[in-house]
Amino acid sequence: MDETRWLIVLRHAKSDWSAGLPDHERPLAPRGLRDAPRLGRWLAEEGRVPELVVCSTARRTRETWQRVSGELPAPPPVEYDDDLYGADVPELLNAARRTPSDVTTLALVGHEPGVSDVTLHLAGLGDETREVQTKFPTGAAAVLATTDTWADLRTARLVAFFRPRDFAG
């Protein structure tokens, strides 16, 4: 029987545009500071705690992951990867495909449009992905299941889609 692997694709929480900083240095906005811990609580409640996280180096993704991980039972190791800043599908897939084979749950923390594009690339354009097709909001996460190895990741099934507005916890 093939082992199921779990890929959690996260979009950073709402960022602040007001400070006139370069895009890479934008921090989280107050709404993002509030929403990111919700995602962490949801992941913990759903039993979807990653064993490894690969995160964009942008300030807003780092701050998002810091707040998400603060709600987890044990924060997993994090690799900060410049290639995830502005990543497209091939770059996000490459990050996943470099994952050690003993990791069963991986999280990628990135940006739009890459996060929705890689989710739809793996899971397809069916009814089950309609919410992702419509909008992958800030602070959202797609949980995908696959029996592919990380090295051969080609397809996955969307099993959950978290949006901060749906979770008041």
Tell me what percent of the residues of the chain surpass a pLDDT of 90: 92
Mean of per-residue pLDDT scores for the chain = 95
C-alpha torsion sign, points 38, 42, 43, 44: positive
Alpha helices (runs of H) in the chain, residue ranges in sequence order:
30-46, 59-69, 89-97, 114-123, 130-134
* pLDDT tens-digit readout, 30-81: 999 999 999 999 999 999 999 999 999 999 999 999 999 999 999 999 999 9
Q: What pLDDT sits at residue 48? A: 95
Q: Which of 5, 55, 14, 17 is nearest to 163 (CA)?
A: 14
pLDDT at position 22 is 94
Tokens of 139: 């602070």
| CA–CA separation, 121 and 144 (whole Å) | 11
**pLDDT tens track for 105-158:** 999 999 999 999 999 999 999 999 999 999 999 999 999 999 999 999 999 999
Q: What domains are there in the chain, each with its CATH number?
A: 5-166 (3.40.50.1240)
CB under 8 Å to 2, separation ≥6 — which residues?
Answer: 147
Q: Which tens digits make up the pLDDT trace of 7-34?
A: 999 999 999 988 789 999 999 999 999 9
* pLDDT score, position 18: 81
Angle formed at CA 140 by CA 50 and CA 160, multiple of 5 degrees: 65
Residue 101 has, within 13 A of its CA and on its CB side, a CA count of 6
The identity of residue 71, as a single letter, is E
Provide the token pair at 168. Answer: 């008041």
pLDDT of residue 17: 87
pTM of the predicted model as reported, rounded to 2 decimal places: 0.96
What is the pLDDT, as a whole number, of residue 169? 60
Length of the chain counted residue by residue = 169
